[in-house]
Amino acid sequence: MEISNLLAPEAVILRLPVHSKKHAIQEISAVAARQTGMPEREVFDTLLQRERLGSTGVGNGIAIPHGKLVGLDKIYGFFFRLAEPIEFEALDDQPVDLIFALLAPEEAGADHLKALAKIARVLRTPGMTDELRNADTATDVFELITRTPAIAG
Tell me the C-alpha distance between 32 and 42, whole Å: 10
Residue 82 CA, distance from chain mean position: 12
Q: Give the span between the Cα atoms of 98 and 76, in whole angstroms.
A: 17
Residue 89 and residue 8: Cα distance in Å, rounded? 28
Give the type of residue at 82: L
Active-site positions?
A: 66
Separation between Cα atoms, residue 16 and residue 83, nearest integer Å: 5
CB within 8 Å of 54: residues ≥ 6 apart: none
